[in-house]
Amino acid sequence: MKLSSLPLEERPRERLRLRGASALSLAELLAILLRTGSRGKDVLELVSELLTEYHDLRGLSRAEEEELMTFPGLGASKASSLIAALELGKRLAGERTALPKEEKWRASVEKIASELAEEDREYIHALYVRKNGTVIIADRISWGGIDGAYLDVKYLLRRAIRLNASGLVLIHNHPDGTLSPSKEDRMLTDFLLRRVSILDIRLIGHFVAAKGKWESIPFPGDVWKEGNEAVV
């Protein structure tokens, strides 16, 4: 349906004003974001073609930037707006969130590792843990590509100190489906072990997620292997 054929009160921007964003469909929200169509098609027709190709937000988020830039009728400007909006959504989802007061780090590991197992790009999450084993905050601290993600260790440790955390847990995924830790994974684990010991913070565990499964990277003092919730 063309935008021009809709009554004014049924057009996306007016529906947003009258009913709020939560009442709008995905197509309507995308139409507001993209603002205009292209030669020969209005914005609703353009959005319809996008959703026919990518189906939903997950499909759009997995599209390469170059692919969106060259999508017929989208163009560089609209594609840039769409890419930026999708990235904001990812960052919002990954921003630190206070977990339930009594949630233990093991439950958080299982939940986050399960979510990461479905991703096709590498992400790193950190759990900041109290002495009794409950989680203070969960952070998505790195966004990467298919081949890896960069971890800012200084940021990680500064956050742990500010939160007065007794322990840290790292979780990252391998988009290629490999559960075995890489050489770089082991090097990072060893590096963190040396750094956290100076700060009197314990590295509780470092986990790899892939294809619905997850494994810990073994190291001396691995609390996961000890079967103890508390950070001792």
Residue pair 58/86 in contact (Cβ under 8 Å)? The answer is no
Q: Are residues 130 and 83 in the same domain?
A: no
Q: Are residues 161 and 62 in the same domain?
A: no
Q: How confident is the model at residue 222 (pLDDT cuts 50, 70, 90)?
A: low
Q: Are residues 73 and 115 in the same domain?
A: no
The answer, yes or no, to whether residue 134 has pLDDT greater than 60, is yes
How much is the mean pLDDT over the chain?
82
Q: How confident is the model at residue 226 (pLDDT cuts 50, 70, 90)?
A: very low
Amino acid, res. 200: D
- Please state the pTM of the whole predicted model: 0.54
CATH number at residue 10: 1.10.150
> Is 231 domain-assigned?
no
Final residue in a domain of this structure, among 93, 123, 155: 93
Report the DSSP pairing between strands 167-173 and 202-210: parallel
Residues, the chain: 232
Residue pair 218/121 in contact (Cβ under 8 Å)? The answer is no
DSSP H or E segment with residue 204: strand 202-210
Taking only the tens place, the pLDDT of each residue in 153-197 is 888 999 999 999 999 999 988 888 888 888 888 888 898 888 888
Number of domains in the chain: 2
The domain in which residue 15 lies consists of 3-93
Spatial separation of the C-alpha atoms in residues 196 and 200, rounded to whole Å: 6
State the residue for tokens 């939560």: 22
Q: Are residues 83 and 162 in the same domain?
A: no
Q: Are residues 100 and 178 in the same domain?
A: yes
Report the DSSP pairing between strands 123-129 and 167-173: antiparallel
